[in-house]
Amino acid sequence: MSTPGRAVYRSPTVALLIGLVLTLVVVVAYSWYITGQISGLRRLQTELTDRNRRESLQLLRIQNDLNQLALSMRDMLDRDEPYPISAWSAPFERIRSDLDDALTQQEAVAVARRTPEQAQYLAQAVAQFWDAADRIFALARAGHDDEARVQIRESLQARQASLSTAVARLLVQNNEAEGQVAQQVQDIYERVQRQVYWFLAATLLAITATSLYLIRSNRRLFKELASLSDERRDVAQTLIATREATLREISRELHDEFGQVLTAMGSMLGRVSKRVPDDSPLRADLREIGEVAQGALDSVRGLSQSLHPSILEELGLESTIEWYLSTFQRQSNVAVSYERIGEPVHVDDQTAIHVYRVLQEALANVARHSGATRASVRLRSGDGSIHLEVEDRGRGCSNNGSRRGLGLVAMRERAALLGGTLEVANVPEGGTRVHLAVPLKAPNAVS
């Protein structure tokens, strides 16, 4: 049930989990996208580079075949050659076969695709060159070498030069395509780089927004926890104050009402006993009743002192500690040594009762949990504060919470009520030390 007037605080866990899931989904999706882009870019770069290299090799092969044709035609025009023109038919066929194969492979791996007009022009030029070559070899085989040489000089060489120009143009286009591929790859790299920057910016923005939301939620949460802690402290302190007031009232009632009644009963029994003859059996009964009444009176006084020692107001804190230590040793199997350090100081009633309760709880813990047979108590004053130390040589503080129950919480709350501190720690020699430090409101030396 929520406290009236307080806003209901919702945990940020659900929103943070949703944000975490969305962030992970975006990161995975974008990582997959970037990986695909980079892989595609790598494949494109490898494929285009390989095709450009193979096309360059085929163009160089074509150019080499055309150069061989030019050299062959030069030798065919040389009249000092011992071979007739028809003898060059076989080398021409070999070059023709290699040239056709090179043109076919170059067309298959070409990076820069030729237009239909360019492809048609190149195919016609090659076909016209070989048609002219066939006619020249036909004239040569018919014995018309001079006419064949004229055809070589006027037609075949011009066609070979035209083919060489076309191949050179293809080489230029191949170089331009290589530059275009490099620019395309660079554009893709820049696009991917921009996307990475945008993604990093979006991720940083999301992290910043999540962090701000988390900081805001934590501030609200800590504010709520601080409010609850203050309320808990107020409740605990109110309960402690109420408990002390109740115990004081019960102690006073026991001492004043029941104590007076039992005292009056004892006096009445004494007066009646004096009126009874010495040899009367009633005297023994009256004496026994008086002893019972006196025992009840002692018990009531002891219970009254246990609930709220009136000697705190009458004799002060130091005398009350000495009285309680002697009582504690009689009621337990723990021997307690007491040491007083510093000048005696005046302690107000509120401080005295809380210091006394801390001493009670600390020694009760020694008797119940430590297993020690000896303990030491030190009361030290000075520098405007009073220090109470209770130390034993028992098992020490364990981590299972056996010595961290309501008693320790009550001791800390009492220390907080007085504006002091309480420390509970293990000592190197073994055992536990409880140290209470309380500032004094008006430290005045007792004269």
pLDDT in tens, 398-440: 654 444 456 788 888 888 888 889 998 888 777 888 999 999 8
Selected residue with higher pLDDT from 5 and 313: 313
One domain, residues 40 and 187 = yes
One domain, residues 163 and 31 = yes
The mean pLDDT of 245-250, rounded to a whole number, is 73
One domain, residues 323 and 431 = yes
Which range, 8-17, 60-69, 364-373, has the best average confidence (pLDDT)? 60-69
pLDDT of 434 reads: 92
Residue 201 lies in a domain: yes
For strand 374-382 and strand 335-341, is the pairing parallel, antiparallel, or unpaired? parallel
Residue 52 lies in a domain: yes
Residue 294 lies in a domain: no
One domain, residues 80 and 207 = yes
**442 pLDDT exceeds 60?**
no
**447 pLDDT exceeds 60?**
no
pLDDT in tens, 308-334: 677 777 778 888 888 888 888 888 888
One domain, residues 173 and 28 = yes
Distances from the Cα of 222 to the Cαs of 11, 12, 218, 362, 414, in angstroms? Answer: 12, 13, 6, 32, 24
Q: Which residues contact 401 (CB under 8 A, 6 or more apart)?
A: none
The mean pLDDT of 59-64, rounded to a whole number, is 87
pLDDT of 80 reads: 72
Candidates 296, 355, 364; CA nearest to 327 is 364
pLDDT of 344 reads: 82
Distance CA 426, CA 424 (A): 7
Residue 378 lies in a domain: yes
* Cβ neighbour number for residue 311 with a 10 Å cutoff: 14
**19 pLDDT exceeds 80?**
no
Q: What is the mean pLDDT of the chain?
A: 79
Which range, 49-53, 217-221, 292-296, has the best average confidence (pLDDT)? 217-221
One domain, residues 63 and 205 = yes
Distance CA 158, CA 129 (A): 9
pLDDT of 436 reads: 92
The mean pLDDT of 151-159, rounded to a whole number, is 85
The three-point CA angle 335-340-343 to 5° equals: 170
Is 325 exposed, middle or buried, given 0-12, 13-18 or 19+ CB atoms closer than 10 A?
middle
CATH for 429? 3.30.565.10
**Which of 145, 180, 214 is at the close of a domain?**
214
pLDDT in tens, 170-199: 888 777 777 777 787 788 778 877 888 888
pLDDT of 387 reads: 92
Residue 36 lies in a domain: yes
Distance CA 42, CA 48 (A): 10
One domain, residues 210 and 315 = no
Selected residue with higher pLDDT from 254 and 392: 392
The mean pLDDT of 238-260, rounded to a whole number, is 71
Distance CA 409, CA 229 (A): 13
Count the domains in the chain: 2
Residue 42 lies in a domain: yes
Q: Which domain holds residue 163?
A: 13-214
Residue 402 lies in a domain: yes
For the ranges 4-13, 83-92, 134-143, 354-363, the lowest mean pLDDT is seen at 4-13
pLDDT of 1 reads: 42
pLDDT of 446 reads: 37
**122 pLDDT exceeds 60?**
yes
Residue 229 lies in a domain: no
- Contact present, 117 and 162 (Cβ < 8 Å): no
**Which of 173, 197, 214 is at the close of a domain?**
214
**90 pLDDT exceeds 60?**
yes
**Which of 153, 183, 214 is at the close of a domain?**
214
